[in-house]
Structure 1
Amino acid sequence: MPYPRHLLAPDEEIVVDSHPHWKALVGPVAASLAGIALIALAWWWVASVEYADAVETGIGIVAGVAAAVLIGWLAVAPFIRWSTTHFVITDRRVIFRTGVLTKSGIDIPLARVNTVQFRHGLIDRMFRTGTLIIESASDDPLSFDDIPNVEKVHALLYDEVFETLEGDEDPRPAPA
């Protein structure tokens, strides 16, 4: 889902609009699959032992509820958090929004950006993702993890910052 255009200023253009890289979902999905496998194994073991019908039904209900909670907690919740996290670069600012019930965000005007860095290790390079670090005037550096194509985003952001700073210069020639 793209960043809502009605939240932008008039004539503001989006340069980059992305969610965190999909690799952020690998851990939650693997954990939920492992949890479901453990519940299925326990369910199979319980089914192999003779119990009264009411006990088997109760154990089946408990296992089903546990599976639903595990899927919701380990897979669905991280997916919703991922899909509601936006990293956006416009021609005027950097926007970061995250949250489902409680939303938080930060906007950094491009004119206040001092330094743009990126960092990515071997695994991140294989997935073409990484961490983007933005240092703005009088603020601590902000780190944005799992940015897809971090090197390209770094170059685009630097280009936008450069264009913003060039536009701030006085176009009148200096007196002779």
Structure 2
Amino acid sequence: MLDPSIKPKTVRRYLLPGEKCLVAVRRHWSVLIRPLSAAVGAAALVIAMALYFPAEHVVVHLLLWPVLVAATLWGAWHVLVWRHDYLFVTDRRVMVTTGVLTRRVLMLSLAKVTELKFQRSLGGRILGHGTLILESDVTEDALKEVEYVPWPDTIYVRMCDLLFEAEE
């Protein structure tokens, strides 16, 4: 299950020699609902205030424009962050990469995973996302939960298949 919008170069960057990527997805688009709703709400409020105050209130209008620009940039930043966050599952490990200006790669070896669970809230069931929970014997897990996973049923089954292959 490789997301076709993810460039192969992006996937290869994190692979070890001989390692095969089996799952490469972005977080579910619903992670953007709250920040984009806030940005659109702020922009609507600014536009309503601009329409409410007459043009003679130049100071008010000059103060509203930076707020509108800030709301737009804040929403665009969240979209950019979403575009650069990935979940990779290879035949050896699970990785989550995050960050735009600085990269952060969290990794857990499939051999260390002792239990794999997934949860879906009502909103997650409606929108099509879930949370993968990875439990291991390692006390300092860098990767325990992956939220907003698209197609969590399919990814969960694929990961279980990999875990049971490793045990045999």
Name the TM tier (shorter chain).
Answer: 0.7 to 0.9
2:71 corresponding residue in structure 1: 70
Tell me how far apart the structure 2 counterparts of residues 42 and 30 of structure 1 sit (CA, whole Å).
Answer: 18
**4+ long deviations beyond 3 Å:** 58-61
How far the C-alpha of 1:37 sits from its partner, in A, is 0.8
1:174 corresponding residue in structure 2: none
Q: Identity percentage over the alignment?
A: 26
TM-score (norm. length: structure 2):
0.86
Tell me how far apart the structure 2 counterparts of residues 6 and 130 of structure 1 sit (CA, whole Å).
Answer: 26
Tell me how far apart the structure 2 counterparts of residues 4 and 46 of structure 1 sit (CA, whole Å).
Answer: 51
Provide structure 1 residue ranges, at least 5 long, that are not aligned to the other structure.
167-176
1:29 corresponding residue in structure 2: 36
2:13 corresponding residue in structure 1: 6
How far the C-alpha of 1:119 sits from its partner, in A, is 0.5
Aligned-residue RMSD, C-alpha: 1.7
- Correspondence for 1:145 among 127, 144, 147: 147
Change (3 A) 1:71 1:152: same
How far the C-alpha of 1:66 sits from its partner, in A, is 1.2
Tell me how far apart the structure 1 counterparts of residues 45 and 128 of structure 2 sit (CA, whole Å).
Answer: 33
Q: In structure 2, the residue corresponding to 1:4 is in which secondary structure?
A: helix
- Correspondence for 2:23 among 16, 25, 38: 16
Change (3 A) 1:98 1:6: closer
2:51 corresponding residue in structure 1: 44
Q: In structure 2, the residue corresponding to 1:89 is in which secondary structure?
A: strand
Q: In structure 2, the residue corresponding to 1:161 is in which secondary structure?
A: helix
The alignment of Structure 1 onto Structure 2 pairs a total of residues equal to 159
Q: What letter corresponds to residue 72 of structure 1 in structure 2?
A: L
Higher Cα Rg, which structure: 1
Tell me how far apart the structure 2 counterparts of residues 94 and 82 of structure 1 sit (CA, whole Å).
Answer: 18
Tell me how far apart the structure 1 counterparts of residues 64 and 13 of structure 2 sit (CA, whole Å).
Answer: 45
Task: Spell out, residue by residue over 1:58-82, the C-alpha distance to the aligned partner (whole angstroms, 9 max, x if none).
Answer: 4433322210101112x11211221
* Kept in 1: contact 2:11–2:21 (CA 8 A): no
Q: What letter corresponds to residue 144 of structure 2 in structure 1?
A: L
Task: Spell out, residue by residue over 1:8-34, the C-alpha distance to the aligned partner (whole angstroms, 9 max, x if none).
Answer: 112211111111111111111111111
1:154 corresponding residue in structure 2: 156
Task: Spell out, residue by residue over 1:34-61, the C-alpha distance to the aligned partner (whole angstroms, 9 max, x if none).
Answer: 111110011112226xx2xxx52x4433
1:172 corresponding residue in structure 2: none
